[in-house]
Amino acid sequence: MNDSVFHRIYDSYHQDLFQFLIYLVQNRQVAEDLTQEVYIRVLRSYDSFQGNSSEKTWLFSIAKNVAIDHFRKQNVRKKRVFDSFDWEAIQLTSPDMRPEQVVQLDEEKSQLLHYLNSCTGDQKMVIVLRYFQQLSIQETATALGWTESKVKTTQHRAIANLKRFMSNVREGEMIYDK
Amino acid sequence: MTNEKYTDHDVEQLLNSMPKQVDLRAKEDVWNAIKKQSMAPKQKKSKPWLPAVITVAALFVLVLFVQSLLTTLDSTNMESATEMSLNDMSEGSSGATENSGETADSSASMATEESEEEVDAESAKSFGMQFAQDAHLVFAEDPLLQNHTAVPFSLSYQAVAFPVTLLIPNERIQEDFPDGFPTQLELYEAYSTEIDEQALGFDEYLPLQGTVVESERGLEITLPEDHPYDMASATSEVYFNTLQNLFSKNYLQAYLLDEEGQPLEWDQVGPLTDPIELSATGLAYSPIQNAIGEDYLVPYPRTSYDSFEIALNELQAPENSVVEPILPSSIAYVLEETEDTVTFVFDETLTADSMPRRDLVVMIESLIATAASFNKAVIFENWDPAIYPLPEDTRSLVGVNKIVLPSQ
């Protein structure tokens, strides 16, 4: 294990990686384990990093794979492949921890985080990279291995979904108030 | 704002204002955890049960493969420096085939009465039986192909498409298709409903939705409007990989159409005006276990690598945790590559004791399948050939992940 590479990557990107993973899995312990897994893969393949993308997007692409592997493993007992569709569409979340345990959030943000889990896995990753990590469209596309247009489309659909969910909640609150 | 519906701007503003999440651990703690995690052994899945069909098939394969072992080794014993062990294997195999009622005249003639050789024969028989149990590959020399037809097929587990090779008894095909030998498409349509996917340890995925017809330009696949295959990137991936597994050996391209005969609108991609390329080369095959803990060789990820050497790097250090590295760091070798071959010269003689049996077979078969994907034959030097009966040219590989269908 190359500790000098670790120290440099840790100093530059550690909190970004951690934030990406914790918002995806919404479980601190799991995020810690997955962050470590990212480092293991990074250190193992660092020599083969060609520099075709930025180091940061390369790290996020590995973190994305680690997260997908995690959710794939979580679905071990799924009986039908259409459950795996749900994995991508709905279950990209760790059900054992509620959002408010991740961080103290006001109600609105708490709801947003909740409904983020109702987005597809692809949409959730785009939201986390674009808004929480502040990556550009191009950086997000590189990290996810997609085209820029796919990133834009997915982002657009995710925002539309969140807008719909949040508006429904607000509508419900207004009816309740009346 | 509270009396209005959310706008895009509201949602984006809310997303941008989400708090930063911080890992509170000290850097040293993280580093120590990484070192500990990287040294932890991977958990193996248990094998709770084996479906009866597999057990029956395995016994059948066992008998015939021991005979295959015999034939292969007989044909190479004049060329190899390991003549003794090859003869031992032949002798051992003859016993197995006699017990099963199969004929083995040529091998029986090789038998001697010396007790030392009998011990060696027992040992070789044991290797042969282990090989038969562990084998995933179908070569052109496989004696089963004398009365079976190898049909490329696909099974699915956890959104991964597993390529498999169905060995269907010829007599069964003749009964099912009395008017002549069927096409690959007809074979798929006839037998996809007969595979008990769950019993084999896979998800229920076949038969695929929609209709498939052959045309001059390739396959034309018409999908219903509510098909589930473009729901997410994972569903798309498993669908396209399944098409490749099923049809790449017989068809070059597939056209996906809607019920109006127009290019299918694929979610987040748009209309699929270009055909799906079915052929796939330059793949790296790694072992993945299914629901019942059986190893299957799967090109995961489904990436076409530019060279065998790059694919080999992926096999040694996969960038995902779904597959394990197939070559342990303890096995040192020199790789020599030509246009047609890849030769592994092991630093220390590779024997049956060099690594666990399952790992040994997986390593050898993974290298063979990966090399075959580059149209290269594998040659091993400084190894004990008794551990795996390589065909003369491993490019005779017909398919991976053999599943034998019963006669009826």
| pLDDT of B73 strictly over 60 | no
The answer, as to whether pTM is greater than 0.80, is no
> Which residues 6+ apart lie within 8 Å of A98 measured at CB?
none
Residue type for B177, please?
A: F
Domains of chain A, CATH where assigned: 1-177 (1.20.140.160)
Q: What gap in Å lies between CA B91 and CA B109, rounded to an integer?
A: 9
On whether ipTM exceeds 0.90, the answer is no
Contact B139, B398 (CB under 8 A): yes
pLDDT tens profile B166-225: 999 999 999 999 888 899 999 999 998 888 888 888 998 999 999 999 988 889 999 999
Q: With an 8 Å Cβ cutoff, are A88 and B235 in contact?
A: yes
Burial category of A38 from C-beta neighbours within 10 Å (exposed 0-12, middle 13-18, buried 19 and up): buried
Q: How far is the alpha carbon of A163 from chain B, nearest alpha carbon, in Å?
A: 6
pLDDT exceeds cutoff 70 at B115: no
Best interface-test mutation with B: which of A16, A29, A84 has the largest number of B CBs within 10 A?
Answer: A84
Q: List, for residues B265-303, the tens digit of each pLDDT value.
A: 998 788 999 999 998 899 999 999 888 878 899 999 899
The better pLDDT of the pair B395, B90 is held by B395
How close A52 comes to chain B (CA, Å)?
16
- CB B186 within 8 Å of CB B207: no
Distances (CA, A) of B199 to B50, B51, B170, B399: 8, 6, 24, 22
User: What residues in A contact B235, CB-CB < 8 Å?
Assistant: 84-85, 88
- List b or e across A122-137, with b for residues whose CB sees 16 or more CB atoms inside 10 angstroms: bbbbbbbbbbbbebee
Q: What is the DSSP code (8-state) at residue B223?
A: -
* Cross-chain Cβ contact A163/B6 below 8 Å: yes
Contact B240, B154 (CB under 8 A): no
Reduced to 3 states (helix: H, G, I; strand: E, B; else coil), residue B350 is: strand
State mean pLDDT over A113-133: 89
Pairing of strands B333-337, B341-350: antiparallel
Residues in contact with A75: Cβ distance below 8 Å, sequence separation at least 6, in sequence order = A83, A84, A87, A91, B158
**Among candidates A78, A103, A154 on the partner chain, residue whose Cβ is nearest the Cβ of B21:** A103
Where is A70: in which H helix or E strand?
Answer: helix A55-74
Q: So what's the pLDDT on residue A75?
A: 52
Q: How far is CA B163 from the centre of its chain?
A: 6
Rounded distance between C-alpha atoms, residue A65 and residue B9, angstroms: 30
Q: Chain A to chain B, count of Cβ pairs less than 8 Å apart?
A: 163
Task: Calculate helix-pair angle for B8-16, A148-177, nearest 10 degrees.
Answer: 100
Query: Which residues does A14 contact at the CB level (< 8 Å), separation at least 6?
Result: A35, B23, B27, B30
Nearest chain B residue (CA) to A134:
B16
**Ramachandran angles phi, psi of B77, nearest 5°:** -70, -20
Model pLDDT for residues B121-173, shown as the tens digit of each residue: 444 444 444 444 567 899 999 989 999 999 999 999 988 999 999 999 999 99
Summary mean pLDDT of chain A: 77
Where residue A109 falls among pLDDT bands split at 50, 70, 90?
confident
Q: Residue B74: is its pLDDT beyond 60?
A: no
With residue A162 as reference, give the H or E element that holds it: helix A148-177
Of B5, B34, B157, the CB nearest to A167: B5
Separation between Cα atoms, residue B226 and residue A97, nearest integer Å: 34
Best probe of the A interface among B9, B23, B205, B288, by most A CBs < 10 A, is B23
* Tens digit of each residue's pLDDT (9 = 90 or more) over B41-52: 544 333 333 343
SS3 (DSSP) at A43: helix
- The answer to whether B17 and A172 are in contact (CB under 8 A) is no
